[in-house]
């Protein structure tokens, strides 16, 4: 599953292209949002994959969602993307696999995220069935072709050019790949070589999205992976794993540089890195400041169980709003609310979004590239 690192949905891109026609009608007030990611932003795609082992379609997932039932979200309630969509006045984008290509819904936002996914196709392979980032991009291409069939190529291109693209991937490439002793990448590559592989892969993938019309992309940087419950139990004292946190910081720095290069190379591209590391670390180090009591273990007490998920047999904590983490990998509904509030406020203060939820245009606002906080160097 994705660690909180993905916090794929942590940020909504705030840059909407100007122009007229269909795109202006769609985006002048309410943004069209496309979400790419892993289990931090999956809203049910994996429910449609029969063989997938990365699912949350059972209690106690969804216990605090509006329906009270599991939806495929890997938390007790809403994802950060759900909360951010509400702030922008739009419903959460539906899962891609729930749509027919003849549906009118293909003209609006779509969520392609899939639990277990990574940047690399081999990441998550032991979950059997999932949509890798490459698969998700191919799914978006299907959506765009369906849009063209409905409203024509010119209008579809305008909508896509003006849309928001959220991308939150990379945590599984560490948690469920590089750091796993039975996965080849951690054996074959040094960490420097592995980051190089990830950046080369991201370069190709984001360029492919650009070629399909994406202009406004927000890539969520990794959070402090070494502090999630599933990783803390691997330390001698239950503390954060400094070397794993350092990997996340190094990844974020490399991703920032890549996005800057892509902006310089691709005309009209506005790709930014969102700093998820610092906001999540603040919640972990100072939970009481935000009304939480516990940030080192999960509400379901599943830190050491196989899979680390909140199974129906799990014993829930008495107060789910007091825990930063829902299970061994994912943040709780209450945490997602705090993160969304913090990021949205940052967007408003940056002038990237107005206080009423309307998005500023690319012609008047440049995207921010936010650098993650520093962490100790990896252990030898």
List, by residue number, the catalytic residues: 39, 327, 330
In degrees, to the nearest 5, what angle opens at C-alpha 306 toward C-alphas 301 and 307? 85
Q: What are 48's strand-pairing partners?
A: none
Q: What's the sign of the alpha-carbon dihedral 286, 288, 290, 295?
A: positive
Sheet holding 216-220, edge to edge: 110-111, 33-37, 164-168, 216-220, 270-274
Residue 278: burial class (beta carbons within 10 Å; 0-12, 13-18, 19+)? middle
Residue 205, phi then psi, degrees to nearest 5 = -70, -45
Q: What's the sign of the alpha-carbon dihedral 74, 31, 262, 156?
A: positive
Residue 6, phi then psi, degrees to nearest 5 = -65, -35
> Distance between CA 223 and CA 260 in Å, rounded?
20
Structure tokens at 368: 């921010």
> Distance between CA 27 and CA 107 in Å, rounded?
12
The answer to whether 31 and 23 are in contact (CB under 8 A) is no
Residue 272: CB atoms within 10 A of its CB come to 22
């Amino acid at each position: 599953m994705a660690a909180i690192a993905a916090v794929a949905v942590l940020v909504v891109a705030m840059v909407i292209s100007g122009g007229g026609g269909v795109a202006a009608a769609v985006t002048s007030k309410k943004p069209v949002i496309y979400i790419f990611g892993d289990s931090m932003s999956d809203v049910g795609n994996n429910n449609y994959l029969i063989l997938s082992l990365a699912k949350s379609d059972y209690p106690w997932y969804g216990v605090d969602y509006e329906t009270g039932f599991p939806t495929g979200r890997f938390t007790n309630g809403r994802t950060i993307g759900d909360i951010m969509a509400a702030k922008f006045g739009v419903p959460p984008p539906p899962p891609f696999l729930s749509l027919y290509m003849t549906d009118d819904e293909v003209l609006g936002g779509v969520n392609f995220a899939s639990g277990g996914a990574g940047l690399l196709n081999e990441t998550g392979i032991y979950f059997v069935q999932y949509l890798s980032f490459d698969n998700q991009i191919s799914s978006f291409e299907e959506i765009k072709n369906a849009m063209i069939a409905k409203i024509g190529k010119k209008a579809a291109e305008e909508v896509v050019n003006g849309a928001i693209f959220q991308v939150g991937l990379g945590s599984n490439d560490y948690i469920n790949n590089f750091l796993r002793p039975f996965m080849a990448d951690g054996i074959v590559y040094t960490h420097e070589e592995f980051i190089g592989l990830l950046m080369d892969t991201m370069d190709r993938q984001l360029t492919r999205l650009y070629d399909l019309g994406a202009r406004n992309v927000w890539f969520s940087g990794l959070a402090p992976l070494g502090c999630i419950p599933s990783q803390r139990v691997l330390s001698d004292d239950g503390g954060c794993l400094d070397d794993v946190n350092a990997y996340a910081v190094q990844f974020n720095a490399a991703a920032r540089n890549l996005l800057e290069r892509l902006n310089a190379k691709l005309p009209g591209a506005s790709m930014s890195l969102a700093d998820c590391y610092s906001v999540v670390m603040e919640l972990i180090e100072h939970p009481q400041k935000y009304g939480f009591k516990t940030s080192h273990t999960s509400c379901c007490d599943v830190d050491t169980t196989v899979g680390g998920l909140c199974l129906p047999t799990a014993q829930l904590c008495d107060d789910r709003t007091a825990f930063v983490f829902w299970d061994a990998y994912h943040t709780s509904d209450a945490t997602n609310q705090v993160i969304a509030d913090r990021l949205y406020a940052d967007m408003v203060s940056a002038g990237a979004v107005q206080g009423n939820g309307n998005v500023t245009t690319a012609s008047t606002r440049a995207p921010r590239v936010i650098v993650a906080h520093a962490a100790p160097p990896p252990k030898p």
